[in-house]
Amino acid sequence: MTDQIIIAVPKGRILKEVLPLFAAIGIEPEAAFRDEDSRLLRFATNRPDIGLIRVRAFDVATFVAHGAAQLGIVGSDVLMEFDYSELYAPVDLHIGHCRISVAEPVAMAEGDDPREWSHVRVATKYPNITRRHFEARGVQAECVKLNGAMEIAPVLGLSSRIVDLVSTGSTLKANGLAEVETIAEISSRLIVNRAAFKTRATDIGPLVEGFRRAVEAKGAGRDAA
Ligand SMILES: Nc1ncnc2c1ncn2[C@@H]1O[C@H](COP(=O)(O)OP(=O)(O)OP(=O)(O)O)[C@@H](O)[C@H]1O
Ligand SMILES: O=P(O)(O)OC[C@H]1O[C@H](OP(=O)(O)OP(=O)(O)O)[C@H](O)[C@@H]1O
């Protein structure tokens, strides 16, 4: 069906948190969607008018920005990194909570004052966020782009510092690193292609409202507990 509404969802850790939201708005994905080993990329749901695709986190934003998917679920880290003007992010889903931070080896962090830095070399998946963060206070950031496992860069001399996502802090700790600055708090957002939101308002509007209500109901349940 060509006029299906496609929702792009990142594979990996966010997926598990997304399923209860889908259930709350009456979207039931086919069984393979929950199976991390499935090689399928596009999935049917109980609603013939809605299909899902499971892609890499950064690619969710690309599919939706280009209109290949009409809606998506993505971390605010991805939105901050790319700043796509074609994307509208109407709902904070309050899932995927973490922060994006600057970290360095524990020994270096002792007595280090980030306000005194004038130049930094940083390994990161987020060069735009990193440059913007440091430029705002006149620090020149030289970025080495990695796609994962940033935490190994300092000990091997690739860079003295990293900018990465932190949640429990256990990955930093396991690799002898300490957080020295928080750049931003992160959570996942519902994103919509702006053009599709206008041209297919009657299909997309109720879905956006559904997600909004599901998040509010979840928040109310948490408050009551
Ligand atoms: N430790 C974490 N705690 C909570 N949320 C996180 C954490 N790490 C990442 N996230 C959120 O999940 C999204 C996807 O995470 P991540 O990039 O680590 O997944 P991935 O499966 O390794 O992605 P890819 O394979 O596409 O690089 C991030 O954009 C972020 O919003
Ligand atoms: O503070 P923590 O709770 O340890 O979480 C932080 C880790 O989580 C993310 O990686 P992820 O586990 O998604 O794997 P990745 O390296 O493949 O992105 C992030 O890139 C950190 O490495």
CA of 15, nearest ligand number: 1
The interface predicted TM-score of the complex, written ipTM, equals 0.94
Domain coordinates of the chain in residue numbers?
A: 5-96+187-224, 98-185
202 lines ligand 2 (CB under 6 A): no
Q: Which residue owns the Cα nearest ligand 1 atom 31?
A: 75
Arithmetic mean of pLDDT over the chain: 95
Q: Which residue owns the Cα nearest ligand 1 atom 10?
A: 96
Report pLDDT for 36: 87
Confidence of residue 196 (pLDDT cuts 50, 70, 90): very high
Report pLDDT for 76: 98
**Which CATH number applies to 5-96+187-224: 3.40.190.10, 2.40.50.140, 3.40.640.10, 2.130.10.30?**
3.40.190.10
Confidence of residue 202 (pLDDT cuts 50, 70, 90): very high
Residue 35 alpha carbon to ligand 2 centre in Å:
21
Report pLDDT for 57: 95
Architecture of domain 98-185: 3-Layer(aba) Sandwich (3.40)
- Torsion angle in degrees (nearest 10) through CA of 133, 137, 140, 144: -20
Does residue 216 register a pLDDT over 80? yes
Higher pLDDT pick, 22 / 220 = 22
Residue 171 alpha carbon to ligand 2 centre in Å:
7
Residue 116 alpha carbon to ligand 1 centre in Å:
31
Indicate the residue type of 10: P
Report pLDDT for 2: 54
Q: Is 168 helix (H, G, I), strand (E, B) or coil?
A: coil
Atom of ligand 1 at shortest distance to CA of 56? 26
Evaluate whether 5-96+187-224 and 98-185 have a shared fold: yes
Q: What is the DSSP string of 21-40?
A: HHHHTT--B-GGGG-TT---
CA of 174, nearest ligand number: 2
Confidence of residue 62 (pLDDT cuts 50, 70, 90): very high
Residue 49 alpha carbon to ligand 2 centre in Å:
34
The predicted model gives 72-76 an average pLDDT of 98
pLDDT for 138-182, tens place per residue?
A: 999 999 999 999 999 999 999 999 999 999 999 999 999 999 999
Q: Residue 34's Cα: distance from chain center in Å?
A: 19
Structure tokens at 144: 């080495």
Q: How far apart are CA 216 and CA 206, in angstroms?
A: 15
Q: How many helices and strands (H and E) does the chain possess? A: 8, 11
Does residue 214 register a pLDDT over 60? yes
